[in-house]
Structure 1
Amino acid sequence: MNFVPAQNGDIPALHALVESAYRGESARRGWTHEADLLGGQRTDAEALREMIAADNQVILLAKKGNAITGCVQLSRVGGGLAYLGLLTVDPALQAAGLGKQLLGESERFVRDQWQANAIEMTVIRQREDLIAYYERRGYARTGELRPFPHGDRRFGLPKTTELEFAVLRKPV
């Protein structure tokens, strides 16, 4: 498995991967989907293009040959903190260890490239199984909750008004 920064030419395949893993019937093949909580899109090509162009962000791709099998978005927050988002694994490959590899590569990247000493993420609070997965990998709930961007269609169409994010953090 190779881990490389995404380029603009990767956007069509990257967008298709993210949508297949988070939304709709294809997402149900894997265990990390949000299809029961959210409809609509997870992201769009313009948002991915903005992430790739930003000086303080990178999307790392997991590639097997030319195929994109997973990705993760990393952002420099400052003060030794980095943010991890958009962790995606092809639903057909979930439970094969790629998510764990992406987390490890993310932690190494932010520590070595940005000199971060901690990494944080937000996970929909109602996703207890996913939060437990991250806790088994050393992430801990901070106790902080952040609002879900209800009404912003770019982030999906919530099927409940109770969605909010739990903040998890890990020293790196």
Structure 2
Amino acid sequence: MTELTIRDAATTDIPALHGLIESAYRGEASRAGWTTEADLLGGQRTDPDGLADILADPKQLLLTAWRGDDLVGCVLIADRGEGVGYFGMLSVSPTLQGGGLGRRLVEAAHATLAERFGARRVRISVFPQRDTLIAWYERLGYAGTGETLPFPYDDPRFGLPLRDDLHFIVMECALD
């Protein structure tokens, strides 16, 4: 098996990033893995312009995981200030999920957040309907904060809701 390389995304990676993220979260292809949101949302998870905005923002970046020339995973990280980092959009190719790549990307996200942004703790937001995903994050050291965030129902760039009870719970993990 080809060695895994994790590096910052470049603008030339946007087409591959867009395809990977959509395949991990939306549509029938996403059902091959366990991170699908296809029962919660239709439409897109992101778009090329949104990815370009992330890459242009000095307080955010996308880490990418490559096996040779194949993009197999990515994660968004962001500086929220005051020692708080954030990660989201954790994406692993659906056919590779369950093999430890997601965990490696989370570890890389934690290290990069601490190194580049001075983060001492990391926050994530998760749909409460995603019990299996929440349990996975708990095994990685995350705990619920009791906070919730609204789902942006009025912005189709984040997907087309298939139910009316969507929101996010906030989870947090201290960095060593």
TM-score by length of 2: 0.96
Task: Work out which of the residue numbers 70, 73, 86 in structure 2 matches 1:70.
Answer: 73
Q: Offset of 1:60 from its aligned partner?
A: 0.2
Q: Does 1:98 align with 2:101?
A: yes
Task: Work out which of the residue numbers 151, 156, 160 in structure 1 matches 2:159.
Answer: 156
Residue identity in the other structure for 2:46: T
Q: Does 1:19 align with 2:8?
A: no
* Equivalent residues in 2 for 1:40-55, closer than 5 Å: 40-55=43-58
Structure 1 residues 41-50 or 109-118, which shifts more? Answer: 109-118
SS of the aligned residue for 2:108 comes to helix
Distance across 2 between alignment mates of 1:93 and 1:48: 23
SS of the aligned residue for 1:113 comes to helix
Distance across 2 between alignment mates of 1:166 and 1:131: 10
Distance across 1 between alignment mates of 2:152 and 2:168: 10
Distance across 2 between alignment mates of 1:128 and 1:95: 16
**Residues 58-97 of structure 1: per-residue CA shift (max 9 Å, x gap):** 1000111111100000010000001101000000100000
Residue identity in the other structure for 1:122: S
Structure 1: runs of 5+ lacking an equivalent: none
Task: Work out which of the residue numbers 2, 7, 10 in structure 1 matches 2:10.
Answer: 7
SS of the aligned residue for 1:138 comes to coil
Residue identity in the other structure for 2:144: R
Residue identity in the other structure for 1:4: R
Instruction: Work out the percentage of aligned pairs sharing the same amino acid.
Output: 47
Distance across 1 between alignment mates of 2:26 and 2:154: 18
Q: Offset of 1:2 from its aligned partner?
A: 1.1
Q: Offset of 1:98 from its aligned partner?
A: 0.2
Residue identity in the other structure for 2:124: M
Residue identity in the other structure for 1:37: L
Q: Does 1:118 align with 2:109?
A: no
Kindly tell me the number of residue pairs found equivalent between the two proteins. 172
Q: Offset of 1:125 from its aligned partner?
A: 1.3
